Amino acid sequence: MASNVTVQSVLEKISVHHLECSICTNRFRQPKLLDCLHSFCLQCLQELRQSQDPSGTTLTCPLCRRETMLKGSWVADLPNNFAFSALVEEVTMQEKLLEGQGSEIKCQACDEENQAISRCMDCDHFLCQECQKAHDRMTLMMKSHKIYTLAQLQSGEIVYKSKLREKVPKCGKHPDQNLNVYCNSCEQVICTTCSVLDHVKHSLTGLPEAVEKCKKKVTEMVQKSERRKTGMSNTLEMMCKSRKDLDTMFANTQKKISKKAQQEITKLKQEVAKIKKEEQKLLKETNTIYKDKLKAFEAVQATNRKEVSQTENKLEEVKQLMNQASCYEILEFQQKLLDNLSELTGKQPQQVPD
């Protein structure tokens, strides 16, 4: 029932940082994807570039400091993250429906500003009662269209999906052509015309097959990264145990030194001063060794924890992108995905020197 659906219950399924730009802390507006897989608003990146190097050909990510090459030195030429744009649109619409603003939604099919009662999912318009009737009468053209009431959308019975998810990218050279072929030689998605004119002797693949190959590659790299993360976690666990052993050894050593000193004092009263001096010397040396070892453990632990955290964040970004992105985006971002995962798998956990 609608009473069981709240904005909070919807947002609980989506991490806030997946909706917000970390530069302006607002919801994404025209999100652009960097080589490191981090996304930011177009305007935020344009302002960032002005603050970094307005004439430079690279842009430094404010989160991980990785550089991204700019095609033609324009931020606007960076790839769009349509998956994030669609997600923001869907969540914003669901919030509007669930927060009791359904009565404020106006018809988008006429100029009367009548209250909307339904939405045509194919036309992507909210409809008032009169426009819905007119829509229903156009059976030949629109009989297959799906129309749902606001109540159905508010209850969660029907989930609003952005049209961006169905958007088929057009060719930059031939705007009237859909991108429907993948060139393995150039590693890019092209249109049929491009395949005939510019990629005659190249290795070409249909999109479904190319996407499956890409997913397979990414899955293999994800699994490899997962194994590396497990290894790092195991190393950290072993280091924590070694740290405890070091503490115990230090405490036992102190006890033994003090006990020995007391025994000597009892047996030889005349050498009390000498023994006390020796005791302090040994304690100081032991403490120095302990602190040196402790610093080494803490430094290596901090480095490995950071690596594990970065690996987890990067894997989450990759998984989110693979789940949310269209097949075209997946192929477009294939090399970025593989480069990021390859970078993760190449690192080894640090060890405390003997």
Q: What is the pLDDT of residues 244-259, one digit of tens each?
A: 999 999 999 999 999 8
pLDDT the model gives residue 124: 82
pLDDT the model gives residue 197: 93
Percent of the chain with pLDDT strictly greater than 70: 92
Report CA Rg, the chain. Answer: 31
d(CA 145, CA 138): 10
Residue 9 scores a pLDDT above 70: no
The mean per-residue pLDDT over the stretch 184-202 comes to 93
Residue 100 scores a pLDDT above 70: no
Query: Per-residue pLDDT tens for 282-307?
Result: 999 999 999 999 998 999 999 999 98
Residue 78, strand partner residues: none
Report how far apart, in Å, the C-alpha atoms of 244 and of each of 59, 240, 294, 352 are.
44, 6, 11, 14
Angle of the 334-345 helix axis to the 272-324 helix axis, nearest 10: 160
SS3 annotation, 76-116: HHCCECHHHHHHHHHHHHHHHHHCCCHHHCECCCCCCCCEC
Residue 117, strand partner residues: none
The mean per-residue pLDDT over the stretch 178-182 comes to 93
pLDDT the model gives residue 43: 95
Q: Report the predicted TM-score, pTM, of the whole model to 2 decimal places.
A: 0.60
71 falls in which pLDDT band (50, 70, 90)?
A: confident
Q: What is the DSSP letter of 38?
A: -
Ranked by mean pLDDT, the top range of 162-166, 201-205, 346-350 is 201-205
Top-confidence residue, 140 or 37 = 37
Residue 189 scores a pLDDT above 80: yes
d(CA 189, CA 205): 10
d(CA 116, CA 105): 6
Residue carrying the six token digits 């402790």 = 294
Q: Which tokens go with 16?
A: 């806030």
Residue 237 scores a pLDDT above 90: yes
> Do the beta carbons of residue 102 and residue 150 sit within 8 Å?
yes
| Element at 251 (helix H, strand E) | helix 207-267
Q: Which tokens go with 41?
A: 């608003």
Sign of the CA dihedral running 334, 337, 343, 344:
negative
d(CA 84, CA 322): 12
Q: In this predicted structure, which of 41-50, 78-87, 98-107, 108-117 has the lowest mean pLDDT?
A: 98-107
- SS3 (DSSP) at 328: helix
Top-confidence residue, 237 or 144 = 237
pLDDT the model gives residue 31: 94
d(CA 294, CA 45): 42
Q: In this predicted structure, which of 139-143, 159-163, 198-202 has the lowest mean pLDDT?
A: 139-143
